């Protein structure tokens, strides 16, 4: 028989928080803050904006908690609020901020312990070039380990759209990684001694 303890506890905390219990709300979201921050950082690619997105999501959660119909779906609802807050912040940022990108110096690849770090940096760069909506699907699915139906629910899109976004995001990331891999031999042949 399945243990329903955490679901019952969560439902009770949601009910208490709906009545204005700040401590219940704090306990309810306390375990999720690190995951929310990680997801926001990966979606927005900016530490300060990520903190703002988490803060906005928590404020919206507190304000909209009385309207939550399914208390047992609190975590998915909270992730959806975070994704929406992150995408809103990204739209606002694109309207107001001029960013200057400094091109990194590419050094020939070395096959040692640092290659794992370099691979991670290439993945992060490929992820950064995705549209925020596509990036959100990749982050929730691969970085947070959410199944695609939960990702679709968290982002507020149909499952087919989530699958499509994941497919196109992965194709774009593969293309970026392939372009980086093709450029690396040209640099090593080109004359850095």
- Which structural domains are found in the chain, ordered by start? 1-100 (1.10.1740.10), 104-193 (1.10.10.10)
Least confident range of 37-51, 93-107, 135-149? 93-107
Under 8 Å CB-to-CB from 110, ≥6 apart: which residues?
none
DSSP 31: T
User: What whole-number distance in Å separates Cα of residue 110 and Cα of residue 100?
Assistant: 29
pLDDT in tens, 78-91: 999 999 999 999 88
pLDDT confidence band for 4 (50 / 70 / 90): very low
Q: What is the largest CA-CA distance in the chain?
A: 69
Q: Which two tokens stand for residue 33?
A: 């803050």
pLDDT confidence band for 103 (50 / 70 / 90): low
State the residue for tokens 């609020």.
81
Under 8 Å CB-to-CB from 52, ≥6 apart: which residues?
85, 89
**Could you tell me how far CA 178 lies from the centroid of its own chain?**
23
pLDDT > 80? residue 114 = no
pLDDT > 50? residue 25 = yes
pLDDT > 60? residue 1 = no
For the chain, the straight-line distance linking the first and the last C-alpha, in angstroms and rounded, comes to 66
Report the share of the chain in percent with pLDDT over 90. Answer: 43
User: What whole-number distance in Å separates Cα of residue 161 and Cα of residue 170?
Assistant: 14
How far is CA 180 from each of CA 32, 66, 123, 177, rounded to the nearest angstrom? 35, 49, 10, 5
**Could you tell me how far CA 42 lies from the centroid of its own chain?**
5
Question: What value does the mean pLDDT take over residues 53-66?
Answer: 94
Question: What value does the mean pLDDT take over residues 36-40?
Answer: 94
Do the Cβ atoms of 169 and 137 come closer than 8 Å?
yes
């Amino acid at each position: 028989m399945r243990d329903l303890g955490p679901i019952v506890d969560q439902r009770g905390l949601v009910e208490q928080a709906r009545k204005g219990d700040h401590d219940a709300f704090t306990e309810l979201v306390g375990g999720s803050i690190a995951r929310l921050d990680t997801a926001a950082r990966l979606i927005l690619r900016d530490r300060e904006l990520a903190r703002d997105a988490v803060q906005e999501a928590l404020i919206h959660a507190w304000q909209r908690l009385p309207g939550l119909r399914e208390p047992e779906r609190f975590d998915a609802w909270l992730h959806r609020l975070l994704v929406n807050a992150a995408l809103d912040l990204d739209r606002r940022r694109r309207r107001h901020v001029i960013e200057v990108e400094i091109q990194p110096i590419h050094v020939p690849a070395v096959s040692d312990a640092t290659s794992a770090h370099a691979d991670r940096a290439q993945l992060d760069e490929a992820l950064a070039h995705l549209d925020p909506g596509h990036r959100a699907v990749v982050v929730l699915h691969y970085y947070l380990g959410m199944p695609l139906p939960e990702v679709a629910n968290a982002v507020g899109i149909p499952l087919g759209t989530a699958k499509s976004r994941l497919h196109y995001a992965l194709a774009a990331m593969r293309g970026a990684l392939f372009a980086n891999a093709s450029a690396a031999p040209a640099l090593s042949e080109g004359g850095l001694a």
